[in-house]
Amino acid sequence: MFDEPYRWIDAIHQRRDYIAEQLDRATPVVGISVSEGILLASFHRQNPKIYELYDRIAMGGIGHPADLETVRGILLNMAHVEGFQRSSTDVSIERLALFGLAPRLKAAFEDVSAPPIILDVLLSEVGKTGRDDRFIQVSFDGNLQRATEMMVLASTEEMEEKMTGLLRDRIPAGERTLAKVLPVVSRVFMDILFSPEELGMDESGNLLSPEKFSECESRLFEDRQWEGALQDRNAPARIKKVPYSGDKSK
Amino acid sequence: MERMRALRIDKEGRGGFVPPNTGYFPDLLKQEGSYRQVRIHEKGPVSGAAHGTTILAFHFRDGVLVAGDRRATASNRIMSNRVDKVLEIDDSALLAISGSPAMALEMARVLDHSLKFYRRSQLTEISLEGKVRILAQLLKENLPMAVEGIGAVVPLFVARDPATGAVRIYFYDILGAHFEGVEFSVGGSGSPEVQGILRYLDRWNPRPLREMSREEAIVLSLRLLETASYFDSATGGVDSQDPIWPVIKLLTPGTLETVDERTIAEIYRNEVMRVR
């Protein structure tokens, strides 16, 4: 069936379109370096998206829950075996992504005879200082992207760029503490998930109707749950839950 | 049964069915070929294997004190006077090791990874009984090394029960049988004297062990270890020229504290050395 090259290429294109379509409705996952560590945040409907993988290392993912679980299992096994055999400091997201996950996802993506793996993954590694924090995104086709300060995992590049831009514009200058960043992240989710009209804002982003904004926030929590986690750089062996910090006044 | 299994992608990216992850880390290590039992088929104890210790744990007013000396010996040789035998497994569990340091430290490492692996893979904390059972399983798997005479490990396990907050002491035999040490437990070659003193104090002292204050408990642990080192050459004492202090940790319903060396030194000088 796929013995002719163009048929295989055609199948790959269809596969890519199919996976992109499946990921289309996913709520983004944000990873952002703060003074206290790394904040990971998202909303989910049914299944959590943010998980602790190993000391200093966490993952966020969008996609099919069963595929996320598969990948989570692979990464957990690899990290713990490697950490046991050598040292916990030898386990890094670079090694997990480059040697553990990317080759498998690429092979799975290109095996058009098998069902596709539907997911994108964000790996985060908290360092001793903010300068040491690392993010890697591994796509369903095995492609890697790296970042240091923050990373948004979303279904499209446009969404990632928009959200990253909003975060960069709105996070106050100076020391980037969790207390400063969390309300901004919460608010940016509102701007991503609802249109300005729904939020009661004009074209310039001024809030005209706080009632409409509150209504959107209530709707958001009716069918989704907030998921916030801090990878504490002073206690990196266990992620901590971070409560939602909406700001209805703006 | 087949439907109960989970899909996994292998190293080549192919889908395949493998048994679901049980969260039991030693199984994963065995699957990866990283945890093998060693048998040497030699009769009797092998000279050169390091052993000898005194470890102790007892209840006091706030929780449980766990202490251990720092010496490792091999036959009549002192291998090290700086071994940490009281290990933090997580923020609610301590493992005090006696016996073969090589096997005991490996066991502590497996246990540490096992608890973290369980929590991260199963997305829930393991129960206290579950922790106790993992260590029992590791001891059972170590039996060949124990009967060879070079790898016996007899640990004390002290952990906070997440359901009640109570701190409990467990002791084991080399086969993995585990028992709760209601008031105290001891281990290692220097333990007979310590066990006798603890039993005496708990039974006939005006106040039982559980009513001792934090400072009284620390003083007692230092005196017990000093007594053990007096009778047992494999238990390290405190060298006045180059003091190496015992490790003392306190696990309470809300905290896990390592008693700092300055405090130990001060108490040792005032309450152990100068008192007759």
Q: Determine the pLDDT at residue B157.
A: 97
Contacts (Cβ under 8 Å, ≥6 apart) of A178: A34, A35, A36, A39, A230, A242
Q: A76: which chain B residues are within 8 Å (Cβ-Cβ)?
A: 21, 117, 120-121
The confidence score (pLDDT) of residue B32 equals 79
Over residues A160-184, the mean pLDDT reads 95
The type of residue at A229 is: A
Average pLDDT, rounded, for chain B:
86
Closest to A77 (Cβ–Cβ): which among B7, B28, B116?
A: B28
Residues of B in contact with A84 (CB under 8 A): 25, 29, 34, 109-110, 113
pLDDT at A207: 84
Q: How confident is the model at residue B1 (pLDDT cuts 50, 70, 90)?
A: very low
Q: Note whether A107 contacts B109, CB cutoff 8 Å.
A: no
CB contact under 8 A, B117 and A83: no
Mean pLDDT value of segment B74-79: 82
CA–CA separation, A210 and A219 (whole Å): 14
Share of chain B above pLDDT 70, in %: 86
Q: Within a 10 A sphere around the Cβ of A206, how many other Cβ atoms? A: 10
Give the pLDDT band (50/70/90) at residue A59.
very high
Quick check: B5 and B20 in contact, CB under 8 A?
yes
Contact at CB, B12 and A104, closer than 8 angstroms: yes
pLDDT, position B17: 47
ipTM confidence score:
0.91
What element of type H or E holds A226?
strand A225-232
CA dihedral A11→A15→A16→A18, nearest 10 degrees, is 140
Pairing of strands B15-18, B50-51: unpaired
**Per-residue pLDDT at B151:** 80
| Position B19 pLDDT exceeds 70 | no
Cα–Cα distance for residue pair B107/B142, rounded to 1 Å = 9
The pLDDT tens digits for A122-139 are 999 999 999 999 999 999
How confident is the model at residue A250, as a pLDDT?
42
Which tokens is B34 given? 């990283």
Q: Which residues contact A121 (CB under 8 A, 6 or more apart)?
A: A59, A60, A61, A68, A71, A101, A137, A138, A153
What does pTM read for this prediction? 0.87
Interval B150-174 mean pLDDT: 93
Amino acid B38: pLDDT: 63
Q: Is A83 exposed, middle or buried (0-12, 13-18, 19+ CB in 10 A)?
A: buried
Is B33 in CB contact (< 8 Å) with chain A?
no
* pLDDT reported for residue A235: 94
Rounded Cα gap, residues B150 and B155, in angstroms:
15
Question: Which of A115-119, A199-203, B118-122 is least confident?
Answer: A199-203
- Residue A57 CA: distances (Å) to CA of A95, A236, B9: 12, 8, 21
pLDDT at B237 over 70: yes
Helix (H, G, I), strand (E, B) or coil at A159: helix
Residue B65 · residue B248 · CB < 8 Å:
yes
What percentage of residues in chain A have a pLDDT greater than 70? 97
Q: Is the pLDDT of residue B240 over 60?
A: yes
pLDDT category of residue B6 using cuts at 50, 70 and 90: very low
Band of residue B11 on the pLDDT scale cut at 50, 70, 90: low
* Sign of the C-alpha dihedral computed for residues B140, B145, B149 and B151 taken in this order: negative
Q: Which helix (H) or strand (E) holds A50?
A: strand A50-54
| Closest A-chain CA to B119 | A52
Lowest mean pLDDT segment, chosen from A168-172, A219-223, B197-201: A219-223
**Which of A51, A74, A80 shows the shortest C-beta gap to B113?**
A80
| Tens-place pLDDT, residues B96-113 | 999 888 888 999 999 999
A248 contacts: CB under 8 Å, gap ≥ 6: A210, A213, A214, A217
Distance CA A171, CA A166 (A): 8
Three-state DSSP at B153 gives strand
Average pLDDT of A91-98? Answer: 97
- CB contacts of B13 in chain A (<8 Å) are 103-111
Q: What pLDDT does residue B43 have?
A: 56
- Higher-pLDDT residue of A96 and A223 is A96
Look-up of token digits 């922790």: B131
Is A73 within 8 Å of B8 when comparing Cβ atoms? yes
**Average confidence (pLDDT) over A95-104:** 95
Active site residue B53: yes
Predicted confidence (pLDDT) per residue in B128-140, tens digit: 999 999 999 999 9
Name the average pLDDT for chain A: 93
What's the distance, Cα to Cα, between the start and end of chain B in Å? 70
- Asked if A85 lies within 8 A of B34 by C-beta distance, the reply is yes
Contacts of B178 (CB under 8 A, 6+ apart): B132, B135, B136, B157, B170, B171, B172
CA–centroid distance for A240 within its chain: 17
Question: How far A54 CA lies from chain B's nearest CA (Å)?
Answer: 8
Q: How confident is the model at residue B145 (pLDDT cuts 50, 70, 90)?
A: confident
